[in-house]
Amino acid sequence: MTGARIDICVCTFRRPELADTLRSLEAMELPRGYGVGVVVADNDDMPSASALVTELASKLSLPVRYVHAPAGNISVARNACLDASSADLVAFIDDDEKATDQWLMRLVERLDATGADVVLGPVRARYASTAPRWMRMGDFHSTYPVFVGCEIRTGYTCNVLLRARAASVAGRRFSLLRGQTGGEDTEFFDQVHRSGGTFAYASDAWVEEPVPVGRASFGWLSRRRYRVGQTHGRLIGTRRSGLAVIPELGLAAAKAGYCFAAAALAVFRPVCRNRNLLRCIMHVGVASGLLGLRELRLYGGKETTHAA
């Protein structure tokens, strides 16, 4: 694909770690036959990342574009990246992650080999020594795609490459309603799949993410799992109506009960116990989403509740 272009999109909100992210993009090997650029979308009300991006852009060989996309709503920033890009392929990486040397090459190779519309890569969590031992042993923060049978049906934006002109992707945007609750990426990729989009997984396309102290707790993990469950429940609910949600509620309740019982049996094995407790919380979140209850607000301020 000689002459084809890739834009790497980074949404940011008051994170000095953005500098390390951009430096890691500069240091990686680039796929042959592609022109590569970077789009940074600043989601702060004030253009707080402008000076940092401008300074780094003058030192990097990759072209970097800065877009101010204020709103305290992550979907506004994600959409600003898509609006600013006219590239053939669009990648997303978070502003606290570092790309490994062959990250983009591996994503592109998998895309070319499979013909997929979307390729996901794994995110390897890096824990500080102060993180709880059970958390480090169980690796609770790393991210991988979820397979249903042999198929991936949704995705995430922390490590992904999109074929921007694919019929399932072109013109699609992230939901502003989910831009503060989270789950906007899950919904986006769910819609890509439902529109006939195909997914692949590049298991060797790693990015790395440090786990800050504020996220190295059971409380943070439980809130995140609950929100993930809520999003899943809401997505199921959009395809059901009235009494049709009752079997799904029963299934979520049964799974939550099973996981709670499994956690009780593993009370003296912290990794197994906490993994099952978090699964229980996720299924409770699914039930909450099916019932249309209030969603956790994860963006645009402190984590509070947000009426959907």
- Per-residue pLDDT tens over the stretch 161-217: 999 999 999 999 999 988 887 889 999 999 999 999 999 999 999 999 999 999 999
- Strand bridging mode 147-148 / 64-68: unpaired
pLDDT in tens, 259-308: 999 999 999 999 999 999 999 999 999 999 999 887 766 555 443 333 22
The whole-model pTM stands at: 0.91
- β-pair partners for 98: 208
CA distances from 54 to 50, 95, 144 (A): 6, 16, 33
Distance CA 301, CA 298 (A): 7
Co-location of 87 and 194 in the same domain: yes
Co-location of 70 and 24 in the same domain: yes
What sign does the CA torsion over 123, 194, 87, 19 have?
Answer: negative
DSSP, collapsed to helix, strand or coil, labels residue 151 as strand
Q: Is 99 left (phi over 0), alpha (psi -120 to 50) or beta?
A: beta
Co-location of 105 and 38 in the same domain: yes
Co-location of 73 and 205 in the same domain: yes
- Tokens read off for 16: 């000095």
Q: How large is the average pLDDT for residues 101-108?
A: 98
- Tokens read off for 150: 């042999």
- Tokens read off for 50: 């402008």
Is the pLDDT at 239 greater than 60? The verdict is yes
Which value, to the nearest 10 degrees, does the dihedral of the CA atoms of residues 71, 72, 77, 78 take?
-130
Co-location of 194 and 301 in the same domain: no
DSSP, collapsed to helix, strand or coil, labels residue 57 as helix
Co-location of 185 and 38 in the same domain: yes
DSSP, collapsed to helix, strand or coil, labels residue 99 as strand
- Given 181, 212, 243, the domain boundary residue is 212
- Given 186, 212, 238, the domain boundary residue is 212
CATH number of the domain that 173 lies in? 3.90.550.10
Contact between 74 and 43 (Cβ < 8 Å): yes
Co-location of 159 and 194 in the same domain: yes
pLDDT category of residue 244 using cuts at 50, 70 and 90: confident
Co-location of 205 and 226 in the same domain: no
Distance CA 6, CA 33 (A): 10
Starting at the edge strand that comes first in sequence, how are the strands of the sheet with 4-12 ordered?
Answer: 64-68, 34-42, 4-12, 89-93, 159-163, 118-120, 199-201
What's the number of domains the chain is made of?
2
- Strand bridging mode 118-120 / 199-201: parallel
Distance CA 107, CA 31 (A): 9
- Given 194, 212, 230, the domain boundary residue is 212
Q: What is the average pLDDT score of the chain?
A: 93
User: What is the per-residue pLDDT for 298?
Assistant: 58
Question: Structural domain of residue 225, as residue ranges?
Answer: 218-306
Q: What percentage of the chain's residues is helix, strand, coil (to nearest 5)? A: 40, 20, 40
Phi and psi (nearest 5°) for 256?
-60, -45
